[in-house]
Every structure is written in structure tokens, then in C-alpha cells.
């Protein structure tokens, strides 16, 4: 029964990660790529350029690494609380998230170019923000490793207590001392 | 509406301040992370247009192994053990007459009286 509960939790986790790492970003990039903003009064189109026109590369990496992250999220969320496998897979999940985040950079999704008619071109580069997030993820990895050590010590303590605990009765069924 | 805009501006400013001051510490760490990520990404298959086979297989393997592992080891062991422990604790009673521990036996081994 607990196994089913775990699996249900895993599927919820997977759905959350699929939505946040694949569906929403892919739809957003697709929308921004196709978006046409006309500037009054001339009605000229404001051209927003993502990944130097190579939106397919961005979508490929979003889906590829999003699938990996979703699989790891399923494993992590379905694992029992305070278990070694939950902590180990949550560390792997953070590593996968690092790859995912960096994929925004190398696929070109962090660089936005906006051509404003009559004024010139504006380029926005979010790579500094990605580096900031990568730094934050490093701290999360350190915290997770600490958690793994904590869980490991907890398990050892539990094993020691099991050895000390004597579940059998000291006396026999007939009342005589053993 | 004006209050909402003010709140949003406050949140944006707060996030901006956090980012601004943490940048000095976090960005260099991010640079280090960038090095190993770029090294490992060389080995990732990335045939474009869209060869998702490797990633789909990875996803399916993780999903199936997750189901199998949770089926065999659902993590209920601890709860069962605690239940057993409680049952034993309840059954370990004392003698009504002399007060000495008699375990789960009917007769006291010290005074011989029936409990």
C-alpha cells in the first residue's frame, strides 16, 4: 500500500517537473519567437530574436534535459522519506538541473536581440543570471551532501539501537525464569 | 491597483537586492560549475534535428526502475518495527502482588502468584 502511495507522489513530482522544465519554457519560447508587436503609428513590426533564430536548438535541449530531470524527479519524489536513495537522487536531480540551466546558455536562449525600427538594436544577455543560479545550486548540492551524511549517521544509530533492544520476554510462558 | 503595483515593485526590488549582493559570492562559484558542465556536455548526444532516443530511453529506465524499487522496498520497514516494539512493551507487565517484572507469563517467577 505504501508503495502505491510512493508511486502516486512520484507521478505528481514528475508532472510538476515536466510542466516547469518542458511545457512552460517550450511554449513561452515558441510564443516569443512567433510574437509580432506592431509599433504605432507606422505599424512596423518589432522583431524579437532568440538564439539567433535557432529556436529548434533551444527546444531540443529543453525537451532532452527536461525528460532526464522528470525521470529523476519521479525517482526522488517516489522514494521514502529519510531514505538514502531519496537523498542520492535529489543530489543527481540538482546536477541535472545545473545542466538544464546551462543549456539555456549554450543553446543561445539567454541572448535576446530586439530590433527597434528607427532606433537601433538592443541585446539582452542573461548569462550573469544563469551563473548566479549555478552558484546557488552549488550551495544546494553542499546542503544535500550534508543531508546524506545526516541520513547515513541516522541509519547507523538506528542499527545500533536495534542491536541493544531485546524484543523477547525475559521469562518463559509458564512463569519460570529463563 | 496602485497598492498591487507597489507590492510588485517592492518584491522586485527585494529580489534585485538579494541578487546584487549575492552576485559577488555566487557568480564565481557558478563559473567553476560552468567548467565541469561544459566538459561533461561534450559526451551528451545532441544530434539536431531532434534525436531524442537516448533521453527517452533514460526517462523510461528511470521510471520503470523507480516503480520496481518502490514495489520491492516501499520503506515501511521502520513503521512495522515500531509497531512490534510497542506490542512487546505493552506485553511486558509487572506482577500484581510483588510488582516485579513477569514479562508475558501468567505466573510470577518470584512470588509464584497467578496474574
Q: In this predicted model, what pLDDT tens digit does every residue of A100-123 receive, in sequence order? A: 998 888 777 787 788 777 778 888
Cβ <8 Å between A10 and B104? no
pLDDT of A51 higher than 90: no
Which pLDDT score is estimated for A44? 75
Query: What mean pLDDT is predicted for residues A55-60?
Result: 83
CB contact under 8 A, A106 and B41: yes
How many interchain CB pairs under 8 A, A with B? 158
SS3 assignment, position B51: coil
Model confidence at A178, in pLDDT bands (50, 70, 90)? very low
**Cα–Cα dist A19/A117, whole Å:** 36
Other Cβ atoms less than 10 A from the Cβ of A11: the count is 16
Region at B95 (left for phi over 0; alpha for psi -120 to 50; beta for the rest)? beta
In chain B, the residue whose alpha carbon lies closest to the alpha carbon of A5 is B74
- Write down the mean pLDDT value for chain A: 83
Domain ranges of chain B: 2-89
Look at residue B80 and tell me whether its pLDDT is greater than 60. Answer: no
CA distance A106 to A111: 10
Of B85, B92, B112, the CB nearest to A169: B92
- The ipTM (two decimal places) reads 0.78
So where are chain A's domains? Answer: 2-164
Amino acid at each position: 500500500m505504501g508503495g502505491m502511495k510512493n508511486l502516486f507522489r512520484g507521478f505528481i513530482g514528475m508532472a510538476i517537473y515536466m510542466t516547469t522544465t518542458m511545457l512552460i519554457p517550450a511554449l513561452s519560447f515558441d510564443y516569443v519567437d512567433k510574437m509580432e508587436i506592431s509599433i504605432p503609428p507606422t505599424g512596423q513590426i518589432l522583431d524579437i530574436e532568440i538564439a539567433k533564430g535557432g529556436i529548434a536548438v533551444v527546444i531540443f535541449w529543453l525537451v532532452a534535459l527536461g525528460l532526464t530531470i522528470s525521470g529523476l524527479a519521479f525517482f526522488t519524489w517516489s522514494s521514502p522519506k529519510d531514505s538514502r536513495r531519496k537523498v542520492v537522487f535529489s543530489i543527481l536531480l540538482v546536477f541535472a538541473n545545473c545542466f538544464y540551466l546551462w543549456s539555456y546558455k549554450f543553446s543561445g536562449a539567454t541572448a535576446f536581440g530586439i530590433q527597434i525600427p528607427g532606433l537601433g538594436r538592443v541585446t539582452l544577455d542573461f548569462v550573469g543570471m544563469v551563473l548566479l543560479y549555478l552558484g546557488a545550486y552549488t550551495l544546494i548540492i553542499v546542503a544535500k551532501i550534508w543531508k546524506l551524511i545526516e541520513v547515513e549517521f541516522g541509519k547507523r544509530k538506528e542499527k545500533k539501537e536495534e542491536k541493544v533492544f531485546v524484543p523477547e520476554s525475559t521469562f518463559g510462558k509458564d512463569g519460570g525464569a529463563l | 491597483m496602485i497598492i498591487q503595483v507597489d507590492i510588485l515593485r517592492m518584491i522586485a526590488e527585494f529580489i534585485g537586492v538579494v541578487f546584487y549582493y549575492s552576485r559577488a559570492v555566487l557568480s564565481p562559484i557558478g563559473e567553476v560549475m560552468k567548467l565541469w558542465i561544459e566538459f561533461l556536455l561534450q559526451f551528451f548526444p545532441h544530434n539536431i534535428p531532434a534525436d531524442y532516443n537516448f533521453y527517452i530511453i533514460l526517462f523510461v529506465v528511470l521510471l520503470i526502475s523507480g516503480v520496481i524499487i518502490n514495489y520491492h522496498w516501499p520503506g515501511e520497514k521502520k513503521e512495522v518495527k515500531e509497531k512490534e516494539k510497542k506490542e512487546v512493551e505493552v506485553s511486558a507487565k509487572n506482577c500484581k502482588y510483588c510488582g516485579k517484572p513477569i514479562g508475558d507469563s501468567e505466573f510470577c517467577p518470584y512470588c509464584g502468584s497467578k496474574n
